[in-house]
A = this chain, B = another copy of it.
Amino acid sequence: MSVYLHDIPLPEAQARFRQAIQAAGFWRVLGTESIPLDENSLGRVTAEPIWARISSPHYHASAMDGFAVRAITTNGALPSKPITLEIGPEAEYVDTGDPLPDWANSVIPIENVESLDEPCNITAEIRNPASIRIRSSVAPWSHVRPSGEDIVATQLVLPAGHILRPVDLGAIAAAGHQEIRVTRKPKVAILPTGTELVPIGSQLKAGDILEYNSLVIAAQIKSMGGESTRYLITKDDFDLICEKVQEAAQDHDLILLNAGSSAGAEDFSAKVVEKLGQLIVHGVAVRPGHPVILGTIDRGSLTSDEMIHRPGSIVPIIGVPGYPVSAALTIDIFVEPLIAYWLGRRRNELPTEMATLTRKIVSPPGDDDFVRVAMGKVGDKLLAAPLSRGAGVITSLVQADGLALIPRGTQGLDAGEPVKVHLYRSRAEIEKTIFCIGSHDLTLDLLSQFLAEQDRRLASANVGSQGGLIALRRGEAHLAGSHLLNPETGEYNISYIRQYMPNIPVKVVALVGRDQGLMVKPGNPKGLKSLRDLTRSNVQFVNRQRGAGTRVLLDYHLKLMTIAPERIVGYSQEEYTHLGVAAAIASGRADCGLGIAAAAQALNLEFIPLFQERYDLVIPREFAEGDLLAPLFELLAEGRFREAVSQLPGYDVSVMGTVILEE
């Protein structure tokens, strides 16, 4: 039997949902209201075209400080043949903005006028001479803002469906309005359900899940122009959920039920919708987020007052999947278009760009697959590096610069292939991103902080030292962190650079010296002292991935000590970062792993130092010389960053900034 209802394609799901809402008469602006014209109007949507009530200026206004004249009386004035105009009948002083006298049709700026009382030009202080002298003629309507120059009464100032910006408010005021009719904000009920959920800030025990989806969704709704009610958590209880949904249906335009949209034993959302209304879609062929429910709730016992306010018989309801990434994307995909229609505005569409994929993506051919990507411009290439695909990994959305779409009907894309990306950040921001790939070190987090102050973003992908050098060869990063020991020479990195990126001139700069050692639980319960202890059958090891410098270091020393890797329990269990290894030990998944002191300290582990090594930054010359990386070299040269790193345990900052190689 199938556990989920059949997933239907995304466009079909959207169409069915829309049809149901349309059939009930709800696929339109929900309502309008008149609001005072002030800064709170910002972001609201005009409900009707705004026509000008008055002209602006509403009279012929002087555009300069000067003298209003009849243009015809100035004809013939020449430097050698001045004309004198009498104040009163022929000329009248006006300030900028003053109305022209009825008889005047032009203004002579004060600096072009001579006073007869003084030999020099007239000044602002002497505005009331008996007459003035001019030495050139003026055309009619010179230095005049004629009535209607900006706005002519009755003209269209703004169309309906316009999102109000600061300057729009000025134009509306200039057109004679002090109120505006805007569309009503849709009211959205957010109902978190789940016995395992606890509010943010709770003391946690195993199995508790922090309920923060309602927070993210409320913020999404707000940024889309709606307003929301966040309900308290409801337990997984069919009757309780029904009750809450009915309550919410009374005074909301949309209900979001999160989660319980799957088909597990305690997933009640579909049944609730079936009982209280109509289940339209259960399961959409989209990743992440396929267990979506789309439906409508029949509004029960409405008073006639409520009917006036919301003259409809149904409320759309969406069963939002529980994983945070799925939840956020479901809101973008299904709720944003609805809010846009209800507000009468255009949809929020992210700009798209074609980018080059840095890694292969395998994708289920039946699904529209949305992949979070980090982006950077390296040389001429706009790159998209896939981030974690786990639907539970909200940090992947935080780090994402864009969302790549692998459309239904494809099985995925290879590294190097073009992919369409919806951008979360502007091109300008992406172009200020330093793309760092390779080995992970905790000082990169600190570096990221310092670079942010210099208007640079550091995006780092952890693929191990070797992976970083390969990425540099393919032109897919600006720099790589690397600590690859050459077992023959004891040298770091250089031989690997020759091997993996031949013919690419590079600059190699030392970042830090650091201790590598065993991370173990506090008190070192298994009494581990050296790599030899890893072969004990009661010791569970956690390893770094192939190509990581730490893995190379381990393998080098295992070989020196003639220890066969197969003898180490957990040798094939891989983590991608030092913190990942530390977390595995802290959580009890492993007894020990090889890593750096700072990672051990971060998670309160004990650290048994074994080796010292150098961690370098490898930078192709073309980037080493560019503007983008200049702030990085400044940071390495000055003291503040060095000082901050020296606070971390197990680091030697004496090498920082030393140029190891420069080609």
List the interface of chain A (C-beta within 8 A of B): 1, 3, 37-39, 41-42, 49, 54-60, 63, 65, 95-99, 102, 105, 110-111, 120-121, 123-125, 127, 140-141, 145-162, 165-171, 173-174, 177-178, 196, 200-201, 204, 206-210, 212-213, 215-223, 228, 262-266, 322, 324, 328, 346, 349, 351-352, 390, 392-395, 397-398, 426-429, 445, 448-449, 452-453, 455, 573, 579-580, 582-584, 586-589, 602-603
Contacts and interface: CB of A to CB of B under 8 A. Distances in A.
Contact of A395 (B151, B153, B223): B151
Given A39-B228, A146-B587, A394 B125 contact: no
Contacts of A167: 216, 324, 328, 394, 397-398
A111 B170 CA distance: 62
24 contacts: A3-B111, A39-B222, A42-B219, A55-B587, A56-B394, A58-B208, A105-B589, A124-B263, A124-B265, A145-B390, A146-B583, A148-B586, A148-B587, A151-B395, A158-B398, A160-B449, A161-B453, A162-B452, A166-B219, A166-B328, A167-B216, A169-B216, A171-B398, A173-B200
A157 B398 contact: yes
A196 to B, nearest CB: 6
Given A155-B445, A216-B169, A209 B97 contact: yes
A162 B425 CA distance: 13
Contact of A178 (B3, B127, B200): B200
B170 A213 contact: yes
Contact of A170 (B127, B324, B346): B324
Given A123-B1, A141-B573, A579 B216 contact: no
B99 A150 contact: no
Nearest to A453: B161
A143 to B, nearest CB: 12
Which interface residue of A56, A120, A166, A174 has the most chain B CB atoms within 10 A?
A166
Contact of A58 (B204, B351, B588): B204
Nearest to A396: B150
A636 to B, nearest CB: 19
Contact of A584 (B39, B146, B154): B146
Contacts of A173: 200, 210, 212, 215
Most chain B beta-carbon contacts within 10 A, residue among A148, A221, A223 = A148
Contacts of A98: 196, 207
B449 A266 contact: no
Given A178-B201, A222-B39, A149 B449 contact: no
A117 to B, nearest CB: 15
A452 B161 CA distance: 8
A56 to B, nearest CB: 8
Contact of A160 (B178, B398, B452, B602): B452
For A58, A99, A263, the residue with the greatest tally of chain B CB atoms inside 10 Å of its CB is: A58
Contacts of A141: 573, 589
Nearest to A146: B589
Nearest to A582: B152
